[in-house]
Structure 1
Amino acid sequence: MAQGTKLQSGIRSRISVATLVAVLALAFESQAGTVLHFQNGSVDPTQVRTNMSSVFAVSAQDYVLQFHSSITESDKAALTDMGVQIFRYIPDDALIVRATERQLSQFAATGKVNAWIPFQGTMKLSPSLPTLSVFSVGRMENILVAAFTNEDAKNILQALKNRDSELQVLDQTDRFVAVRMDMAFVSNLMSMKGVEFIQKLEKMESLNFRLQDGDMDTSEVAPKGDYSDLNGFEAGTKVMNFESMWAKGYHGEGQIVSMADTGLDSGVADSISPDFTGAVKSGYSFGAGAKTWSDPMGHGTHVAGSVLGRGTSSGGALKGGAYAAEMVAQGMWSTIIDNLTVPPKLNKLFDAAYNDGARIHTNSWGAARNFGVYDSMAQQVDDFMWNHPDFLILFAAGNSGVDMDRDGRIDPNSVGSPGTAKSALTVGASENLLAIGGIQKKISELKTAKDVWPAEPIWSSKISDEPNGMAMFSSRGPTTDGRRKPEIVAPGTNILSARSHVPGAEVMWGAYNDDYVYAGGTSMATPLTAGAAALTRQFLMQKKNQANPSAALIKATLLHTAFDMFPGQYGQGSATQELQLRPNSDEGYGRVDMKAVSELGNATRFVDSEGVAEGQSEDQTVQMKSGTLLANLVYTDAPGTPSAGAALVNNIDLIVTGPDGKVYGGGDSINNNEVVELSGLKAGRYTISVKGIKIPMGKAGKQPYALVYTSR
C-alpha cells in the first residue's frame, strides 16, 4: 500500500511515520515465508520443528502452518477438503489451523510448506499481561480469553473451573470468556487447545477529557445561558463547515446512526429532551443493573447531541451535524459500578444497531492504557466490518496525549483499543474556536499541566483559540505495528451540546444552562465526525448514485476531503512544529471539511469495487492538461490476529503512473488507507492502479476496496 506522497513542483519527502512504516515493511518483506512474527517476538519455525517429537498426534491440535510463498485459494481449499479447520493468518505466509500431524504431513507432500509448529505458549499471550513468575501465585486479574470457536470457549471455561477454585466468571458469550482468575493459572491457558489470545480485560472509559478540582473557577467569563451570546462556533459544526452541506439539502434524512455510550437523556422516547423528540428509532440497555437506556452520567447525551441533536431547545442554534438523522441509542452505564459495562463480545452492540438499520456506529470510549496494541477488542471491530462492509464504525482515539520527554511536542503511541482497529475510523481532537464558556485557561493553569505538558509552546497556549491546532490531550499514533492512527480529526475542545436531564448527571466542562453543557475530549470529536459520515453517506447515495455505499467509500471520501492543518498552531520550521504534512499519526489526513465534500463534482470519481485479486490490477485513467491529482484508497481488511506482530492481513497498493512512465506510491505493507497527492503535473495520461500484492484471506480471493480521486 502506498504511503502518502505529496508533490508541489516535485516530490516533497516525508519522514516521521513514513520512515517507521518503510523500516517495518522492509523488515517483514525481507523475511517473507521464513519467519513467523508474533507480538511477543519472531520465530523461525524450522528451528522449532527440529526439536519436536516425530510421533504423530492422533487428535487434531492447533498449529501455525507456514508456506514457502503466498497462500492461494486453492491451498486453503485443499486444506479444507482434508478436514483441516482454518482460523487466522499470521505473517509471514502462515495460517493458524486445527489439524492432525498426519494431515499436515500429507499436505506438506505438495512441497508448499516451509514448516509447522504448535500454536501455544507466549504466542497466545498479550504483552499487556504482567510477567508470569513465582510471584504470580495469588495475584488476581480480570482476563479476557478469545477462543477460536464457541465450543472451544465452553471447554476452556470448564477447564479453568476445574483448576482454579477462586475463579469468578464475569461473562461468557460465544467465543469470548471473561474471568477474574489467579495469574498462576495463565500458564495452563497458554497450553489449552482452542485459545486464540489471552489479555487483560481492560477497563473501558468514556473519553471526555476529565478536569481536576480547581480547573473550573468563577473568575472566567460566564456565558449568559439565554443564547444571545452564541456566535455559531459553540457546537463545533462551524469549524467543520457543516453549513455548506445543510445549504445543499443534506441534513441526514434517511440516515440512521447508532451510539453506544452512557445512555441518552431520560431513556424513554415519550419523555426525552425536545432536542431528541422523534430522533430515536430504538434504544437498548447494556448497563449492568440498568433498566433503561437513560443517561445518569451525562456523557452520552452530549455525544448524541453532536451527532443529530435537533437544537429545538436552543431555537436551532445548537444542533448536531446530521440533525435530521435517526438514532439507535445504546446505554452502557452501570450505576452499580459508576462506569461503562461494555460487553466483551462487541457484536452485541453492532448486531443490534445493524439489524435496526444503522449503518454508522459511533463510540466515544476505549481503554486508557496498553496503548497502540491490536487486541481482541480491536479484532472484533474489524471482524464485524469485514462481514458487514456497509457498516462504518467510529472510535475515539483517546485523551492520553502527553509530553513526558519535555520537548514541546506531544509524544507518539497513545491510541487505545478498540481505536487501534484497522478498519474503524479513529478520530482525534483538534481545537474548536471559542473564547467564552467552558475552559478558557492557559494549559499551564490546569492542575495536571506541570506533569504532562510542562514545556513551551504547549505550556502557554489555550485550549480553544486555534482551529488549525491539535488539542494537547488528543492521543497520537502510530500503533505498535506502525499503522497510522488517528486517521482524521474534528473539534474536541469546549464543545457545547445537549445536557442530560437525569438528576445528578455531570456538567463536565460547565453548564451553559439547563439544556446544554460544555465538554472536551476525543469523545466530542468523534460524534461530530459521525454526523459528517451520515451526511457523506446521504451525499453519496443521492448525488453520486451509490445505492449502498461501503464503509470504505464513506471513509475514503472523508479522508479525501480532509483539511490538512499543517504545520499546526506553533508555526513551521522549529523543533516544536506541531504537524508534518499529511498523512501523519497526529491529525491523520486532516480535519473533517464538509464544504469540501459538498463541492465534489464531476472532477471526482468514486469507485466502490468488489475487489482485486493477488497479482492483478484495476486501473483508472485520467487525461490531464496540467494541474493536480489526489487519490485516496481505503479498504476494509480481513480481521487480523491479536497475537500477530502486524495487524494487516491483505495487502493492496495504490500506484499512479505518469505519462513518462514515472511511478508514484506503492511499497507500504502496513496500512489499509493510502494516498497519492500530486501537483504541478505535466499534461498527459495518468493511470491510477490498485494492485493486489498479497491477499491470503480475501473474499473469493479478492480484497474489496474504495477509491476516490480528483483531477484538476
Structure 2
Amino acid sequence: MPKKTAACCLFAAIAAGVVAASAGESTDSAGRLDPGIGSRRPVSARAVGLADRGLIALHVYTRPGTRPANAISVYPLGDTDLSLVITTPDQAKIIAARPGVLWVEQAPEPTPRNDTVRLIAQTGTINPGPFDAAGLDGAGQIVGVLDTRLDWDHCAFDDPDHPIGPLHRKILAYNVPFAGVDAHGTHVCGILAGDSTMNTNLRGTATGARIVYNTIPAFDESPLLQRLELHASQGATIHNNSWGDDQSSTYGGLARAVDSFCWQHDENLVVFAVSNGSTLKTPENAKNALAVAATQDSPMQSKFCLGAAGPTADGRRKPDLVAPGCSVFSAYPFGGTCNTVFNSGTSMSAPVISGAAAIARQYFVDGWYPTGSPDPADAFTPSGALLKAVLVAGAADLTDEPGWPSDREGWGRVMLTGSLPLPGSGFSLIVDQAFNNTADALETGDARLIRFEVVDEAEPMRIVLAWHDAPGDFGAADPVVNDLDLSLETPGGAVYLGNHIDMLTGESTTGGTPDTRNNVEVVALPTPDAGVYTVRIDGAMISTGAQGFGLVITGGIATIPEPCGPADLTDPLGVLDLADVTAFVQAFAAQAPEADIVADGVFDLADIAAFVQAFAAGCP
C-alpha cells in the first residue's frame, strides 16, 4: 500500500474513533482508566511521531467480542481482547466508559513484555536485574516441562551446531516424536528459559536454564508420575506445569502423583498453574505443588489479574504465590522463526516461578550462600521444600489486593531480592534443611532448634518452614499425613506460631493453636526487637517415614555460633584453645554442670578424660 494511502486510512480510523467515542457514551470510567495516561515519554520513532501530532497509542482491554470500532489491530487473549487505538489523550476516559471495556492504558513501549517479566521476578520492578548482573540466570539448572508441542527451531531455543541432547544449548531431551508445534508450549517455554540474541522479547526468566520436554499426559498415555520421574532421571529438579483438570477438585490421581513424586524425590520442586476459573481444581490442590496465580505485567505488577481463589476443598492455603501472567510477550511458533505474541493466563505465570526457582537453586549449588558471593566450598544441594520456602520468604504483598496472606495472592508475588542477598543487600539469610527419610529428618516428638540474633530492627523478619508431605489416600477428604509445627520465641519470651498472622497488618500474633493443615508455615515480624531469637520445628505428628523440611529466615539477622562439642566452653565458639581448658578446670573445681561431660551427675576422672578426648578431637 502506498505510504500516502496508508496514512489516509490511519487518520480516517482515528477521526472515526474520536467521533464514535464522543457520541452518546457514558463518562463513568472509574477503575478502568490508567491514571498514568499522557505521562509517558515517547521513545520509539512511531510514538514520537504520534506525539508531534497530539496523539497517543492506547491499549484497550475488553471482553471478547466488544472491540472498539476504531481499533487499528486486535489481539485475542483468551478471556479478553486487546485492541490498539490511536487517538487524542482526552478520549481515553470516554473509551474506558464504554460497555465491555475492562482497562485502558497508554501503550507501553519500548520495554519487551517478556523481558519485563524476567526483571519483575528478580526485583519486583523493571529496574535492571541484580541477579543478571551477578551472573545468576539459572545456568546449570534443568527444568522439566509438560506442555503442548514446543517449537525447537524457534530462535529462543534453536542451536544450529548441536542436535537435541546433552550439548544442545536449550533442549536436552524431547521425549516424544516430533508432530508439529503449538503456540502454548512454545510461549510457556519462552517465558521460562527462552534466550535469543535476535529479539529481547525472547529473554526468559532463567535464560541460562535448559529444558527437558514432554507432552501433557493424556488419559491413554503414560501417567503424570512416570513423566515426572523420566524428567528427573534426565536431570530436571524443577518441573513446570501450565495445565490442569478443570473438571475436578478432588484429591485424586493427579494430585496424589505430585505428592508421591515430591515425597520420594524431595530434591525436586513441582510448579502448577492454578485454574483460570474461580475455583481451585487439580492437580494444583496437591499438598507439595507450588500453586501459582497471575498478576498483571508491568507497570501493574501489584494488581491481581486472574487465577482461582483458595482454599482447597479440604481447607489448605492455595495458591502459594503469584507472578506476572497477563499480557506477557513470549515465543510464537508461527509466521517465522523468531516471532513473538503476548498472551494471558496462569499458564504464563507458572514458568516465571519455575524460572525464579532455577535461579534460586543456582544460588545454592554455586555457593552464593551464606556470603552473597560465589564460593565452591559453600555449595550444597537444596531440597525442593527449601526452594519453596525461599520463594515464599521473598514474596511481596500485592498492594492492590486486600489482606496478606490472602486466598487469591497466597503469600504474594515472587521477588528474589526479598530472600536471596547479594553484596550490598540490607538483609541476611539463614537456611536449614533435612531431606525426607534421612538421619536429620524429624519423627513424632523430635524438635530442631535454631538460634539467631536480630541486629537491625529496621529490617522486616520473615521465617518460612516448608516440607514435602507423604501422599494421602486417593479421594481423601483430609490428605494431610505428616505435620510439622513452626514456632518462634522472642528475646522477651513471647511465642509466635506459624500462620497466626493478622491479615490486615501482615504481622504474626501470639496465641492460638498450631496449624495442622498446611505444609507451608510463616512467621512475619515487620519490626522485630533486637536480641536473640529461637526458631523451633516440632515433629507434631509423623505418620509415615521421617519428615524432612526446608527452613528460611530473612531479616537484619546474624547467626549465633554453637559449641562444636563438650570441650568448647568459651567464646569464640567453634575454636578450642587455652581459654576452654581454663574454663573446664574452673567449672570442675566448682562442680558446675558444664564440667559434667559424661552427664552422670558425678565429677570425676571420667569427665576429665572425656574433656581431654573432645579437646584433642578439635572442631570440624
Instruction: Please say if 1:241 is aligned against 2:122.
Output: yes
Aligned to 1:400, the other structure's residue is in SS state coil
- Matched-pair contact (CA < 8 Å) for 1:621–1:686: yes
Using CA pairs under 8 Å that are at least 6 residues apart, name the structure with larger relative contact order, 1 or 2. Answer: 1
Q: Which has the larger radius of gyration?
A: 2
Cα distance in 2 for residues equivalent to 1:284 and 1:493: 29
Aligned to 1:383: 260
Give, in angstroms, the shift of residue 343 of structure 1: 4.0
Aligned to 1:630: 462
| Letter paired with 1:707 | L
Report Cα offsets for 1:82-117 as digits up to 9, x if no partner: xxxxxxxxxxxxxxxxxxxxxxxxxxxxxxxxxxxx
Structure 1 window deviating more from structure 2 (273-282 vs 668-677): it is 273-282
- Matched-pair contact (CA < 8 Å) for 2:157–2:171: no
Cα distance in 2 for residues equivalent to 1:625 and 1:247: 28
Aligned to 2:589: none
Give, in angstroms, the shift of residue 416 of structure 1: 1.4
Cα distance in 2 for residues equivalent to 1:478 and 1:363: 20
Give, in angstroms, the shift of residue 586 of structure 1: 1.1
Structure 1 window deviating more from structure 2 (255-264 vs 347-356): it is 347-356
| Letter paired with 1:605 | I
**Unmatched tracts of structure 1, length 5 or more:** 1-208, 286-290, 334-339, 402-413, 434-464, 504-512, 569-577
Given the superposition, is the C-alpha separation of residues 546 and 234 from structure 1 closer, same or farther in structure 2, using an over 3 Å criterion?
A: same
440, 445, 450: which one aligns with 1:620: 450
1:309-458 aligned within 5 A: 309-314=194-199, 316-332=200-216, 343=221, 345-371=223-249, 373-401=250-278, 414-433=279-298
| Letter paired with 2:155 | S
Cα distance in 2 for residues equivalent to 1:228 and 1:655: 45
Given the superposition, is the C-alpha separation of residues 210 and 332 from structure 1 closer, same or farther in structure 2, using an over 3 Å criterion?
A: farther
Give, in angstroms, the shift of residue 332 of structure 1: 3.9
Instruction: Please say if 1:673 is aligned against 2:557.
Output: no
Give, in angstroms, the shift of residue 662 of structure 1: 1.7
Give, in angstroms, the shift of residue 524 of structure 1: 0.1
Cα distance in 1 for residues equivalent to 2:207 and 2:230: 22
Instruction: Please say if 1:526 is aligned against 2:350.
Output: yes
- Matched-pair contact (CA < 8 Å) for 2:294–2:322: yes
Cα distance in 2 for residues equivalent to 1:323 and 1:668: 38
288, 304, 313: which one aligns with 1:480: 313
Cα distance in 2 for residues equivalent to 1:616 and 1:596: 31
Cα distance in 1 for residues equivalent to 2:322 and 2:390: 14
Cα distance in 2 for residues equivalent to 1:385 and 1:619: 25
RMSD (Å) for aligned C-alpha atoms: 2.7
Report Cα offsets for 1:39-67 as digits up to 9, x if no partner: xxxxxxxxxxxxxxxxxxxxxxxxxxxxx
Report Cα offsets for 1:285-336 as digits up to 9, x if no partner: 2xxxxx41642x310000000011013331x343101111111021349xxx
Given the superposition, is the C-alpha separation of residues 527 and 341 from structure 1 closer, same or farther in structure 2, using an over 3 Å criterion?
A: farther
Cα distance in 2 for residues equivalent to 1:502 and 1:341: 32
Instruction: Please say if 1:281 is aligned against 2:175.
Output: no
Cα distance in 1 for residues equivalent to 2:158 and 2:62: 26
Cα distance in 1 for residues equivalent to 2:220 and 2:450: 43
| Letter paired with 1:705 | F
- Matched-pair contact (CA < 8 Å) for 1:395–1:427: yes
Instruction: Please say if 1:591 is aligned against 2:413.
Output: yes
- Matched-pair contact (CA < 8 Å) for 2:251–2:477: no
- Matched-pair contact (CA < 8 Å) for 2:113–2:201: no
Identity, in percent, stands at 31
Given the superposition, is the C-alpha separation of residues 307 and 210 from structure 1 closer, same or farther in structure 2, using an over 3 Å criterion?
A: farther
| Letter paired with 1:221 | L
Instruction: Please say if 1:308 is aligned against 2:308.
Output: no
Given the superposition, is the C-alpha separation of residues 426 and 276 from structure 1 closer, same or farther in structure 2, using an over 3 Å criterion?
A: farther
**Unmatched tracts of structure 2, length 5 or more:** 1-60, 74-82, 87-106, 124-128, 160-168, 370-377, 435-439, 499-513, 557-620
Cα distance in 2 for residues equivalent to 1:529 and 1:397: 13
Aligned to 1:536: 360
Given the superposition, is the C-alpha separation of residues 482 and 546 from structure 1 closer, same or farther in structure 2, using an over 3 Å criterion?
A: farther
Instruction: Please say if 1:495 is aligned against 2:372.
Output: no
Report Cα offsets for 1:355-381 as digits up to 9, x if no partner: 11111110000012333x322210010
1:57-96 aligned within 5 A: none
Give, in angstroms, the shift of residue 554 of structure 1: 0.7
1:29-108 aligned within 5 A: none
Instruction: Please say if 1:606 is aligned against 2:431.
Output: yes
- Matched-pair contact (CA < 8 Å) for 1:284–1:292: no
- Matched-pair contact (CA < 8 Å) for 1:638–1:649: yes
Aligned to 2:145: 259
| Letter paired with 1:477 | G
Given the superposition, is the C-alpha separation of residues 327 and 676 from structure 1 closer, same or farther in structure 2, using an over 3 Å criterion?
A: same
Aligned to 1:238, the other structure's residue is in SS state helix
Given the superposition, is the C-alpha separation of residues 237 and 350 from structure 1 closer, same or farther in structure 2, using an over 3 Å criterion?
A: same
Given the superposition, is the C-alpha separation of residues 385 and 234 from structure 1 closer, same or farther in structure 2, using an over 3 Å criterion?
A: closer
| Letter paired with 2:300 | E
Give, in angstroms, the shift of residue 517 of structure 1: 0.8
Cα distance in 2 for residues equivalent to 1:546 and 1:396: 30
Report Cα offsets for 1:518-573 as digits up to 9, x if no partner: 1000000001111111001001111123422110011110111111114x2xxxxx
Aligned to 2:189, the other structure's residue is in SS state helix
Cα distance in 2 for residues equivalent to 1:597 and 1:319: 23
Instruction: Please say if 1:707 is aligned against 2:551.
Output: yes
Aligned to 1:37: none
